[in-house]
Amino acid sequence: MLVLFAAASSAEDIQKTAEGLLNGARQLGDIRSPNAPPFQMELTFSFVGKDLETSEGTYSEVWISNSQWRRETTVGNFRRIEVGGPTRRWLLDSGGDFPEEAAGVSSLLNVFPARTAKFQFESIASPDAETQCAVTKPWGDKRKRLAFCFDKASGFLVENVTPQLVGAQRVVDFSCNYGQFKKFGVYAFPRTLTCFLDGHRKMEAKVVELSTMTSPDATLFSPPPASLELGNCSLNPLPPQAVNTHYPLVPLGTSKNTSVTLWMIVNVKGEPQGVKVIRSAGKQFDDPAMNAVRAWHFKPATCNGEPMPAPISVEIRFGRY
């Protein structure tokens, strides 16, 4: 877990200082801010999979605004295309179940939390002489914390630390370090990204191109045929909530304590669509988990009170915990 040395201060001073650090870093490096120029980005990445194998991939993004963008991620035979519009976005996967690690590349490159996100900060800490971190108050039954770390000299956001659940009970730190900042217009954006899970190297990425986009092809932003539709919301988004669930029994002949993590899209009627396994426990557990969840009903996600289709991940547990 994250271990930092915090200086004593009043809660009001801590909150003010933390917000100032985050806002200052955003002004320096948020290339997706409302006034930033359109850009195109390409990078290469590698990650360590569940069986400790190393896989490599590529990522490209064309960004005009928060309501007009396109992302494409490729790993081997797997390919994911995402297109964003004013109120909807579309997702198309090919080549089977898209690797969970690769699916997170786009969110890691956003670097900064959503502008609508609100945090209650508990401390300002200094893990070393060059860095200071704003650490949130713990929340939830696992007492989770976030940390945003900044370079003292430049003010750049150089590390994000988020809690991640491993297995049924254990919460560890997932930390991403940003380095080799270079100018992009009036902003500075990192060219390298290195992420660790519980101190173990998990992912590396390198930006090979970041340039201003002029006169993009309008067809890039057309929804791909056969893609899944999701909401694209920046105003008071609320996730789906399961209201009618049925959990499968442990398969006959097994007594294993295990779990399966599933990903799906919940449509505006509260129905699960495109259910897929993102963390497997083997076919004898995966299949009953998927069959059970397909029969679930949800309260759909909302954007400013209006229903919208949205993704969600759920963990189905087998055995006794």
Residue range(s) of every CATH 2.50.20.10 domain in the chain: 11-221
Local confidence band at 142 (pLDDT 50, 70, 90 cut-offs): low
Average pLDDT over residues 109-128: 90
Instruction: Read off the pLDDT of residues 266-295 as tens digits, 9 standing for 90 and up.
Output: 999 999 998 988 888 888 899 999 999 999
What pLDDT is stored for residue 104 in this prediction? 85
Instruction: Read off the pLDDT of residues 157-178 as tens digits, 9 standing for 90 and up.
Output: 999 999 887 765 678 899 999 9
Does position 320 have pLDDT exceeding 60, yes or no?
no
Token match 């670097």: residue? 111
Share of the chain above pLDDT 90, in %: 55
CATH 2.50.20.10 fits 11-221, yes or no: yes
pTM over 0.85: no
- Give the SS3 label for residue 103: helix
Does position 308 have pLDDT exceeding 70, yes or no?
yes
What pLDDT is stored for residue 289 in this prediction? 92
What pLDDT is stored for residue 280 in this prediction? 84
Give the H or E element holding residue 16: helix 11-29
Average pLDDT over residues 192-213: 95
Cβ–Cβ < 8 Å for 248, 288: yes
What pLDDT is stored for residue 167 in this prediction? 62
* 216's tokens: 């993009």
What pLDDT is stored for residue 147 in this prediction? 95
Residue range(s) of every CATH 3.30.2420.10 domain in the chain: 233-318
Does position 141 have pLDDT exceeding 70, yes or no?
no
What dotted CATH number matches 233-318?
A: 3.30.2420.10
Average pLDDT over residues 116-135: 92
Q: How far apart are CA 70 and CA 222, in angstroms?
A: 9
Residue partners of 135: CB distance under 8 A and separation at least 6: 2, 4, 6, 121, 122, 123, 124, 125, 145, 146, 147
Task: Dump strand ranges (E) for 76-223.
Answer: 78-84, 88-94, 121-128, 131-136, 147-151, 157-166, 170-184, 187-197, 200-212
What pLDDT is stored for residue 219 in this prediction? 92
What pLDDT is stored for residue 268 in this prediction? 92
